[in-house]
Chain A
Amino acid sequence: MSTAAPYGADLRREGEALSGALPPLLVAAEHLAQSVLPGAHGRRRAGPGAEFWQFRPLGPGEGVARIDWRRSGRGDELYLRETEWQAARAVTLWVDGGAAMSFTSTRERETKVARARLLAMALALVLLRGGERVGLAEASLAPRAGRAQAGLLAAALAEEAEQGAEHGAIDLHASPSGGHVVIFSDFLGDLSQIEGALALAAARSMRGILVQILDPAEEAFPYDGRTRFESMSGHLSYETLRAGDLRTAYLARLAARKDHVQAMARQSGWHTTTLHTDRPAAEGLLWLYQALGEARRR
């Protein structure tokens, strides 16, 4: 009895914390997921699945149990009923939880990480509804199908990630090979990690999408006057007397950065997109869903 009480208290506290953070993300993601029609993806060939694919004459050595008697009753030949092969693939999501992602230029707008988590969760919901296996890029949340996985994912996403580093570290070692990966980040940090992840993914025949989430202020650089810029974690700082003068240089560097990301993705056969936090989230979700379908079909 002596250990049961603290354990029970722990559990309850965790449960409360979870249910506190869960519903908003889950509800918002559900709402967003409604905008995408779910459905399993036919592999356009016979295999295990629910959809009818074709009738085929019974070959030698095949089990009697597979005979479709209703079709066979219409003629002399025996037919088998084949369904379309519906393969559920593993999709691994990774959201950059670094401090840089918690930036927003105005208080009304959601932060980049919030948008990224929302998109990731909504995408997960759509995929789960379609029977896919969805997981996160960590060993404890390997891709799994089913409604229960949605709750686990939401809990994991809603958890405040470590804020210490400017950008999170991606680790795809736990992801199943041959699956898909969706990476949400602003790609403003060190790109060598991403490159490493892409190399690993290519080695394990994983495909995927790089989703760059940016705040409009990062695209426009609307600053002027004497300014001391600090990174979100406060580790880096940069001071200028006329921020306005730096705008063109900054924009050029940003464009170069985007090109670099795209080039990286193209090399590995990945898709990339840039989403902004001032645009509706549904737009991004639809694009993601289609792009994912495309990637899978190939």
Chain B
Amino acid sequence: MSMLGFTTPVLLWALLALPILWWLLRAVPPAPVRRRFPGIALLLGLRDRDPESQRTPWWLLLLRVAALAALILALAGPVLNPSRALPGQGNLLIVLDASWASARDWPRRLERVSQALDGAQRAGRPVAVVALTDPPQGAIEFRAAEHWRERLTGLTPRPWSPDTAMPDWVGTVPDGTETLWLSDGLARDGRNALLSALSDLGPVQIYQPDTPVIALAPPSFDGQDVTVAARRTQGPPLALTLLAIGRDPAGAERDLARADLVFDPGAQSAEALFDLPPELRNRITRFQIEGARGAGAVTLTDDSLRRRKVALLTVREGNESLALLSPLHYLRQALEPSADLVESSSLDDLLLTGPDVIVLADMPAMTEAETQDLTDWVEAGGLLLRFAGPRMAGAGASASGFGAPQEDPLLPVPLRAGGRTVGGAMSWGDPRSLAPFPEDSPFAGLPVPEDVGIRAQVLAQPGPDLASHTIAALADGTPLVTRAARGSGQVVLFHVTANAEWSNLPISGLFVSMLERLAISTRGAVPEAGELEGTHWQPEEELDGLGLLQSTANRPAVPGEDLAPVLAGERAPGPDLPPGLYAGTALRLAVNATDAQTPLTPAQWPLGTNLETGVERPEVPLGGYLFAAAAAVLMLDALATLALGGRLLRAAMLLLALGLSVPRAEAQPVDTRILEATESVVLAAVTSGNPQVDDVALAGLRGLSLALYQRSSVEPALPMAVDVETDELSIFPFLYWPVTAESPLPSAEANDRLNRYLRSGGMILFDTRDADQARLTGGMTSAGRRLQQIAAGLDIPPLEPLPEDHVLTRTFYLLADYPGRWQGGTVWVEAAPPDAQRAEGMPFRNLNDGVTPVVIGSNDWASAWAVDEQGTPLLQVGRGSTGERQREMALRFGVNLIMHVLSGNYKSDQVHVPALLERLGQ
């Protein structure tokens, strides 16, 4: 299927000249060696024995003709799979799906767009770029290709699918417009309509890579294993790794577990199983396919995966009662399948385990200290669940002797003394049944079984707010379950026992449902539409199209009615409801870009569509290979000529001698590097993978080293480039880390080494080198996003913009701003402790005692520092003398930085100067 084309086929005519060349070459034997020789008089008249060999041997001829043929072919510009260039006329419309499914090969798509823009720029055609997921408002604008090129980096995929309706802007596209449509490869309603609408305007070319689309479904949890299902469009067998990502106990995000996700040949779905301890499982915030990009390769977890930790306070007197009579037996039975239980007779122990819920069953007596601890815990967000019982009834009697009953912070409502018994042998009525749950109760909608009867209960003191605290009541209106908020937590009281003594509620299915509703046990499934009605959900984090989590601030809350169809899989997320985490009062819900219902049908285009897959057959220019082949053949020819001239042996020996001397030179490369770095101060730059950036970084550090050498007593050696994956870091006091959008992410081991480096006093200066762009794009750039990903694995303390009185502003020079090649980018350093006080008589606070481990900025300092071998600046900074001033300030910032690294915060000790002077005076 592969095709071969030539950029300048005319040159191929030169191949006709090859036979002539053959004849010419045949006549010319290899060049002789010229030797001066006095004995020539003795040679004159001697004859060669074999006159035939005066001609060049045929194989040498063949070699040379082959070299020439390769050269001619190479010059003709051969291209494998030449791209069918768009005929360059009229307006060019570039349509991108820009959906979650396009994210998997987004850079390639951007490259394709950039190619098209190149072509349009050359031909001077007006261009419009439209993302279907983010359609333009109003009419479409055709502008110069340069305009779009600047906005290309800002083009990102969205975590939803394009609208199926015919977009409005189609009507505004002028006739005779050519279209390049970058499809994400999924079939969708309205696609063919749009295609025909665009085809009416002009030729349409579809770009659709053949890589399979993979979509993760939300995880499911059966009490034992977490299962994550994945589906894909088609493709060969594929083995992927699924990562479970969450925060470790130190709070840093990391891979908590990994599992294989293997698609069998032809299979469209696969599952990954995680068997995790609850502790770990509760930490998982999302699942992600390793190495894959896009919102479809990430699935967020919400509370459905979390098992709450429920602490049961057991009876303190060690009296052995029958198991079925134990107040906790039915609770255990109800909670065990869906929650993690902790039991202890010591409240302190229970509080130490950090439970979500503490259950007190008929436990009235608390010491004052315990009451205080529990109150604190509840107010910090705990849920205290209490059950009544004979002892509580008795205690209520004693507590409410005279006057107003004492307010117990651990009871939602004040209780009346005693209790009441209904339907017993000595009472007047049948056991009371439950009233239907009120609308605003968390139990709303639960069916009330007929056979649940309450025989005894404790009674609440009637009061004006009793009704508002009641969330379940008996048929006669007496409260059965009451609830009250305490701080950010709540206290819930069941007015019956937790065992079957007072009622048969604990042995009914309703009990389990009620516990679930109270969010005591895990939510079994997605909340029903009815339950969501009237609720509001605040977006906490949002998933972007590339599969990265962005925290959202100032987004309006979403009504539960809108959320319900998305959760049920009836509609897909959209711009009004982006995928992410939504927090309610007690629950967090995850809306994922893809779920088990997301349609994954490959797009079918009508016959005759100009389809370009661009994946298996990228345009390959072969000229380079042919040039290389020609060079190789010519080298062979040189060897052969040497052999013919009898000089091969000598040349070989010469080469051998050269070759032998090489390995000796690099016998111990690592040792010498470390030696060099330890003998003096060496600044180091982390390689970014982009040779140009690395060169500038090294040149920048060279400039900074030079400035330090000239201005301070620091005399650094030549800077080095380090690879965080392999090189020893601890020998460098300072790492300069230029971050580009393509910077490789450090591996887990590298993260460990970097954290060790940071903890042991090293400093890293992260430079995203894009303060100029950041100003335009409002702070977020692709390099900035990359930096977030890199920093996610690092142990980075809280940061703040470099305050005016930070010690960095005065370690060597007094500085007010910190320009690099750009000016005005924010510089972040470790945040000062909140209690930092301004020292008396000093213009600055007594700030953090230590060196900030990271400095983050975007001013592209290395470019301002960079000098060449002679010490002259390498790159232009600003204009004229202002620019030189800026370069000088950049160097001063660098000097201050290194001084800060090497001498710490001793300049901060100036705060002690008055005290010292005073002491000296005495």
Which residues of A line the B interface, CB within 8 A? 100-101, 103, 112, 166, 186, 188-190, 215, 217-218, 221, 223-232, 236-246, 249-250, 253-254, 257
A254-B48 Cα distance, complex, nearest whole Å:
18
Let me know if A253 and B36 touch, CB within 8 A.
Answer: no
Let me know if B44 and A188 touch, CB within 8 A.
Answer: no
* A-chain residues with CB within 8 Å of residue B40 when the two chains form the complex: 229-231, 236-238
Chain B 39-52 against A: per-residue CB contact (8 Å), 1 yes, 0 no? 11111101011100
B32 in the interface (beta carbon within 8 A): yes
A-B contact pairs, 30 of them (CB 8 A): A101-B38, A188-B38, A190-B41, A218-B38, A223-B37, A225-B646, A225-B647, A226-B31, A226-B645, A227-B32, A227-B33, A228-B32, A228-B33, A228-B34, A229-B43, A230-B35, A230-B36, A231-B36, A231-B40, A236-B41, A240-B43, A240-B48, A242-B48, A242-B50, A246-B46, A250-B39, A250-B42, A250-B46, A254-B42, A257-B42
B54 in the interface (beta carbon within 8 A): yes
Let me know if A227 and B35 touch, CB within 8 A.
Answer: yes
Let me know if B38 and A103 touch, CB within 8 A.
Answer: yes
Which residues of B line the A interface, CB within 8 A? 29-44, 46, 48-50, 53-54, 644-647
Of all chain A residues, which has the CB nearest B648? Answer: A225
* A-chain residues with CB within 8 Å of residue B644 when the two chains form the complex: 225-226
Let me know if A229 and B42 touch, CB within 8 A.
Answer: no
* B-chain residues with CB within 8 Å of residue A232 when the two chains form the complex: 36, 38
Instruction: For the A-B complex with A242-B49, A249-B46 known, give 4 more contacts whose Cβ atoms are closer than 8 Å.
Output: A103-B37, A188-B42, A229-B40, A246-B43
* A-chain residues with CB within 8 Å of residue B33 when the two chains form the complex: 225-228
Of all chain B residues, which has the CB nearest A99? Answer: B38
Let me know if B645 and A225 touch, CB within 8 A.
Answer: yes
Nearest-Cβ distance from residue B738 to partner chain A, whole angstroms: 52
* A-chain residues with CB within 8 Å of residue B36 when the two chains form the complex: 103, 229-232
* B-chain residues with CB within 8 Å of residue A240 when the two chains form the complex: 43, 46, 48
Let me know if B41 and A242 touch, CB within 8 A.
Answer: no
Nearest-Cβ distance from residue B381 to partner chain A, whole angstroms: 92
10 interchain residue pairs of minimum CB distance: A225-B646, A100-B38, A224-B646, A225-B645, A228-B32, A253-B42, A226-B32, A229-B37, A103-B38, A231-B40
Of all chain A residues, which has the CB nearest B31? Answer: A226
Nearest-Cβ distance from residue A107 to partner chain B, whole angstroms: 13
* A-chain residues with CB within 8 Å of residue B31 when the two chains form the complex: 226
Nearest-Cβ distance from residue A110 to partner chain B, whole angstroms: 15
* B-chain residues with CB within 8 Å of residue A188 when the two chains form the complex: 38-39, 41-42
A200-B854 Cα distance, complex, nearest whole Å:
101
A257-B645 Cα distance, complex, nearest whole Å:
29
Nearest-Cβ distance from residue B804 to partner chain A, whole angstroms: 73
B48, B53, B54 — most chain A CB neighbours (10 Å): B48
* A-chain residues with CB within 8 Å of residue B41 when the two chains form the complex: 188-190, 231, 236
Known: A241-B50, A242-B48. A218 touches B35 (CB 8 A): no
Nearest-Cβ distance from residue A240 to partner chain B, whole angstroms: 6
Of all chain B residues, which has the CB nearest A224? Answer: B646
B37, B644, B645 — most chain A CB neighbours (10 Å): B37
Of all chain A residues, which has the CB nearest B30? Answer: A226
Of all chain B residues, which has the CB nearest A103? Answer: B38
* A-chain residues with CB within 8 Å of residue B647 when the two chains form the complex: 225
Known: A218-B39, A250-B43, A253-B42. A242 touches B34 (CB 8 A): no
Known: A189-B41, A225-B644. A230 touches B34 (CB 8 A): yes
B32, B33, B43 — most chain A CB neighbours (10 Å): B43
Of all chain A residues, which has the CB nearest B49? Answer: A245
A244-B46 Cα distance, complex, nearest whole Å:
12
* A-chain residues with CB within 8 Å of residue B50 when the two chains form the complex: 241-242
Nearest-Cβ distance from residue A195 to partner chain B, whole angstroms: 16
A249-B41 Cα distance, complex, nearest whole Å:
13
Let me know if A223 and B48 touch, CB within 8 A.
Answer: no
Nearest-Cβ distance from residue A188 to partner chain B, whole angstroms: 6
Let me know if A238 and B34 touch, CB within 8 A.
Answer: no
A151-B43 Cα distance, complex, nearest whole Å:
40
Nearest-Cβ distance from residue A235 to partner chain B, whole angstroms: 10
A231-B33 Cα distance, complex, nearest whole Å:
14
Let me know if A228 and B646 touch, CB within 8 A.
Answer: no
* A-chain residues with CB within 8 Å of residue B54 when the two chains form the complex: 241
Let me know if A238 and B44 touch, CB within 8 A.
Answer: yes
B32, B34, B38 — most chain A CB neighbours (10 Å): B38
Nearest-Cβ distance from residue A171 to partner chain B, whole angstroms: 22
A284-B644 Cα distance, complex, nearest whole Å:
40
A226-B37 Cα distance, complex, nearest whole Å:
14
* A-chain residues with CB within 8 Å of residue B646 when the two chains form the complex: 224-226, 243-244
* A-chain residues with CB within 8 Å of residue B34 when the two chains form the complex: 227-228, 230
A227-B48 Cα distance, complex, nearest whole Å:
12
Let me know if A241 and B29 touch, CB within 8 A.
Answer: yes
Of all chain B residues, which has the CB nearest A254? Answer: B42
Nearest-Cβ distance from residue A212 to partner chain B, whole angstroms: 12
* A-chain residues with CB within 8 Å of residue B42 when the two chains form the complex: 188, 250, 253-254, 257
Of all chain B residues, which has the CB nearest A98? Answer: B38
Nearest-Cβ distance from residue A249 to partner chain B, whole angstroms: 5
* A-chain residues with CB within 8 Å of residue B53 when the two chains form the complex: 241-242
Nearest-Cβ distance from residue B245 to partner chain A, whole angstroms: 71
A254-B43 Cα distance, complex, nearest whole Å:
10
Nearest-Cβ distance from residue A97 to partner chain B, whole angstroms: 13
* B-chain residues with CB within 8 Å of residue A166 when the two chains form the complex: 38
A188-B53 Cα distance, complex, nearest whole Å:
30
A226-B35 Cα distance, complex, nearest whole Å:
10
A254-B646 Cα distance, complex, nearest whole Å:
24
Nearest-Cβ distance from residue A285 to partner chain B, whole angstroms: 23
> Which of B35, B44, B48 has a CB less than 8 Å from the CB of A228?
B35
A254-B40 Cα distance, complex, nearest whole Å:
11
A232-B40 Cα distance, complex, nearest whole Å:
9
* A-chain residues with CB within 8 Å of residue B39 when the two chains form the complex: 188, 218, 221, 250, 254
A188-B44 Cα distance, complex, nearest whole Å:
12
Nearest-Cβ distance from residue A35 to partner chain B, whole angstroms: 29
Let me know if B48 and A230 touch, CB within 8 A.
Answer: no
Nearest-Cβ distance from residue B588 to partner chain A, whole angstroms: 86
A238-B40 Cα distance, complex, nearest whole Å:
7
* B-chain residues with CB within 8 Å of residue A245 when the two chains form the complex: 48-49
* B-chain residues with CB within 8 Å of residue A112 when the two chains form the complex: 38
A175-B627 Cα distance, complex, nearest whole Å:
71
A166-B48 Cα distance, complex, nearest whole Å:
25
A230-B34 Cα distance, complex, nearest whole Å:
7
A249-B45 Cα distance, complex, nearest whole Å:
11
Nearest-Cβ distance from residue A166 to partner chain B, whole angstroms: 8
Let me know if A236 and B44 touch, CB within 8 A.
Answer: yes
A226-B48 Cα distance, complex, nearest whole Å:
11
A215-B39 Cα distance, complex, nearest whole Å:
10
A228-B37 Cα distance, complex, nearest whole Å:
10
Nearest-Cβ distance from residue A211 to partner chain B, whole angstroms: 16
Nearest-Cβ distance from residue B50 to partner chain A, whole angstroms: 7
* B-chain residues with CB within 8 Å of residue A101 when the two chains form the complex: 38
Let me know if B645 and A238 touch, CB within 8 A.
Answer: no
Nearest-Cβ distance from residue B54 to partner chain A, whole angstroms: 6
Nearest-Cβ distance from residue B696 to partner chain A, whole angstroms: 47
Let me know if B38 and A223 touch, CB within 8 A.
Answer: no
A232-B41 Cα distance, complex, nearest whole Å:
11
* B-chain residues with CB within 8 Å of residue A103 when the two chains form the complex: 36-38
Let me know if B645 and A223 touch, CB within 8 A.
Answer: no
A254-B41 Cα distance, complex, nearest whole Å:
10
* B-chain residues with CB within 8 Å of residue A189 when the two chains form the complex: 41
* B-chain residues with CB within 8 Å of residue A239 when the two chains form the complex: 32
Of all chain A residues, which has the CB nearest B39? Answer: A218
* B-chain residues with CB within 8 Å of residue A224 when the two chains form the complex: 646
Let me know if A230 and B37 touch, CB within 8 A.
Answer: yes
A265-B44 Cα distance, complex, nearest whole Å:
25
> Which of B35, B37, B48 has a CB less than 8 Å from the CB of A241?
B48
> Which of B32, B38, B46, B48 has a CB less than 8 Å from the CB of A186?
B38
* B-chain residues with CB within 8 Å of residue A243 when the two chains form the complex: 646
A240-B29 Cα distance, complex, nearest whole Å:
12
Nearest-Cβ distance from residue B47 to partner chain A, whole angstroms: 9
